[in-house]
Structure 1
């Protein structure tokens, strides 16, 4: 690995850590960078996943104020993310290369639509629940847990735009402020990366030089992203999510 490549991977890690904390889809920065330097796809995916774990943890820590009062919600959804991550990591190791990636554009497109129309859909969901004399602001909708499980599977396998999907799901199914949902998203996405990373360390081919560079960059990016993301108004944050999702979708369609 040349000095130029090392610096480029480090900077890609900073960018990925920042965007993962604010939105998600940081993998779309680091993964193509690794491929451009000739790293085999599976090795790149595995090494990238492990390297991004510290950034996810620092991003979640940076949003710790928004996590206050959300312990029950986080624990319930964390179980879904962990199970999904195990399944996704196993699928990466046993399925033919590209088998699951075929549905990635559909998942990203769905996430973008969910985020784009989230305010209108959320209002309708809340109004319908109120008419049924339910308490829409006490707990997430019943469909959120299995959907988070599905995003965990996706995240364990590849993970690009996992944050977009999670923000779409949480925005519609968990009636609370978008910044608080973003904090939950960081915990869930970070747990998926961590669980999948542990599995990859044990059984997969890991390039530890790449892991170290991405980890340092992502850690710095996670802290930066937390400071930046908290200051964004809901409309701006939602716009960023949609733009990143569209870029991710375009990347997979034209590749």
Structure 2
């Protein structure tokens, strides 16, 4: 039988129910993917906003706090390094602060170790596992830690390693946490200073009793323990000072 225009019109959609279901499923799928796209855009917007905030936070921190902090740390820590020493900085990052500390004393050589290697460093830096310092017993004159140990799970492990590796002394800059307020303040400082750089933050702060125990267990005696460190100007020092920071020089007992 020949198909007339009428037949073609009648047979364009031979199964109306199937065609109706197809259009419904198509509409549902289209709505689903549009919704996913909108959620992806919102997610990207949130991530972008978070990154922008952290970047801005980092710039503000550098302008108001970081530069003064570095200057004070370099002077205080550098004054404790014996001249002509070989110095190993643990958790050195790009090594800029370690280089500046070493420059405070004539004839001091410096290298660093870290669990991650930066593309650009200011001193020679070697990778290590975060637990064992890759130096023989008494293989270096001075071992330094600058705001590193509270980023570890157990500061006592690396303190003992530093005691083994050093010939002369161990120099530590870190924090004291005695109260809940101290801990809250230190966590805030740590987050502001390190979150923009993606640093792991275990917030493992020790009290003076904790530090004394770690030092004694490692066979180190305290030669200098300073808490009057003017890292912040007024009025920030009233909140973020309060003897929350210390610089110490320790020597092996034997």
- Does TM, normalized by the shorter one, top 0.5? no
Greater helix proportion: 1
The answer to which structure, 1 or 2, has the higher relative contact order (CA under 8 A, 6+ apart) is 1
**TM-score calculated relative to the size of structure 1:** 0.27
Name the TM-score, length of structure 2 as normaliser.
0.27
Larger radius of gyration: 2
